[in-house]
Amino acid sequence: MSVEMDADVIIVGAGILGGLAAERLAARGKSVLMLEAGPRVDRWRLLESFRNMPSKGSADAFYPELAYAPKSGGGPYSNNYFENVGPMAWRPSVLRVVGGTSWHWSSAFWRFVPNDFKLRSLYGVGRDWPLDYGMLEPWYTLAEQITGCSGSDADDQGGGGGKPFPPRSAPYPLPPLARSSYIQAVAEKMTRLGFNFIEEPHLRATRPYGGRPVCTGNNNCSPLCPIGSMFTGDMAVTRAERAGAKVMPDTVAYRLEKGAGGKIVAVHTKAPDGKSTRRTARYVVLAAHALETPKLMLMSEVGNSSDQVGRNLMSHPSLIWEVLGKDALWPGRGPSQQGSVNDRRDGAERSRSAAFKYIFNSHIPNQQLTQRLLKQGVIGRELDERIRHDCARFISIIAGMEQLPLASNRIDLSDRKDALGLPTPRIHMDVDDYNRRGGLIAGRDFERFEREFGMQVELGDRKIFRLASHIMGSTIMGDDPRTSVVDADCRTHDHPNLFIASCSVFASSSTVNPTLTGAALSLRLGEQIAREI
């Protein structure tokens, strides 16, 4: 007897990873229903809101602030959404809208290097993945082609031998952007210091691609690409819809219903008015980020026989060297992030201290530096002159470090409730000695930067760790169901028809932005489910 289902596959979360998985499934003729907690938004409306804001300092202030789908910060609902109970306060920048948080990202699209997948066997720390680089390489390539990734095929990311590293089966679909004058100057200084400055793979179109115009160098990639040159999650969702997937915005998933044989038989959702609906499918994919995915699983009491749901939460603990230098280099021209130094991304020292890479911000610092001058009592014509002088000499370099998966770093359920009566996330985060030892190495490099850039004024404390908005871990991948949540196919050990398309499955964090690896895994699991249905 056939059973009527709402869809072959329900995907919870309509961001970039959910969109890629949905398109893969829909293109194979499967019926796909995407559930998104937040609303649809239009680029032109967001752009108008951004233009009309008196302050441009917040990355998400002009995105919807809704009681039933709070974002990460900037309003009466979101300010109380995350509860921090650990030593490090962390409010990662998260949007709950169709398209997800990649509406306001910088589009860095990095591959992990092969050794990132086997930290335990090579260096005796962290965990190994139950898959290797070679298994993901074709999916990395496909993700780059779908999204239109630009990069340099000549760059060696620390692998040695003068060949592109990590290994590639195909060139980048697009060439890199021309370097801005600021990035050229920074690259020259890094080269003089003996570092290898390389292009950053990213999703800003350098030629017309997939209907996107060429990047014109607007500096506000985050919070919003004004012309749609940068690939964002809404574009992935649109591709899925064109392939036949359906999207339901303003639909908050709050319970996964278990049935016979451990299968998930339904997803229960709430509308903004609190009305509950039950939806059924043959397979369910959780494609919320690494905080909302474990939150839903914990609320539903699913997938947690290992007691690892919510645990092993990772980010990129970062140290920031932010100064005024002696020379006018004029940051803020061209994209806000372009190029990096990866010399410390891998190597034998990972057995003792965290690997990291250097990221060079090129954002416009006017607001930050003006506030500093006003606090010093500078006003009038002198203020105008000092703003121009200081902004031209602003330098911001981030040492973004890998973080090991620790069971103590976790998200669980708070006693507080949101507007729909659902528990809010409670977060415990800290850095360990592995990161602190990496920080000592970065600190020595910072001293070299002082001399090369002619540091005149230091603007912040270079020894304070800050956590990036890169959310990984919390439903960790592994071969052993006793110590992990999903297997190499991103299928939960406890439920044969429940998959996770999220960076929450990562068994290591690497030193680079996680989205490309998440995209590769999502495409791969989409193909796996399509074969099984």
Token couple for 173: 């679909």
Contact predicate 457/321, CB 8 Å:
no
Which of 174-188, 227-241, 328-342 has the lowest average pLDDT?
A: 328-342
Does the structure show a pLDDT above 70 at 164?
Answer: no
Q: How far apart are CA 216 and CA 232, in angstroms?
A: 16
Task: Provide the percentage of residues in the chain whose pLDDT is more than 70.
Answer: 97
Q: How far apart are CA 82 and CA 92, in angstroms?
A: 9
pLDDT of residue 301: 98
HSE toward the beta carbon, residue 379, CA cutoff 13 A: 2
pLDDT of residue 182: 94
pLDDT digits (tens, 9 = 90+) for 187-218: 999 999 999 999 999 999 999 999 999 999 88
Could you give the C-alpha distances from 62 to 16, 43, 98, 328, 491, in angstroms and in order?
20, 12, 15, 32, 36
pLDDT of residue 156: 67
pLDDT digits (tens, 9 = 90+) for 377-414: 999 999 999 999 999 999 999 999 999 999 999 999 99
Cis preceding-peptide flag for 423 (omega within 30 of 0): no
Does the structure show a pLDDT above 90 at 334?
Answer: no
Contact predicate 148/231, CB 8 Å:
yes
Which residues are designated catalytic?
Answer: 470
Which of 1-5, 107-111, 322-326, 390-394 has the lowest average pLDDT?
A: 1-5
Closest CA to 211 of 15, 43, 26: 43
pTM: 0.96
Does the structure show a pLDDT above 60 at 282?
Answer: yes
Sorted by where each starts, the structural domains of the chain and their CATH numbers stand as 7-64+82-532 (3.50.50.60)
- The mean pLDDT of 471-495, rounded to a whole number, is 98
Does the structure show a pLDDT above 70 at 157?
Answer: no
Burial of 58 (0-12, 13-18, 19+ CB in 10 A): middle
What is the SS3 assignment for 183?
helix
DSSP class of 200: P
Does the structure show a pLDDT above 80 at 55?
Answer: no
Closest CA to 68 of 81, 82, 84, 54: 81
Q: How far apart are CA 398 and CA 388, in angstroms?
A: 23
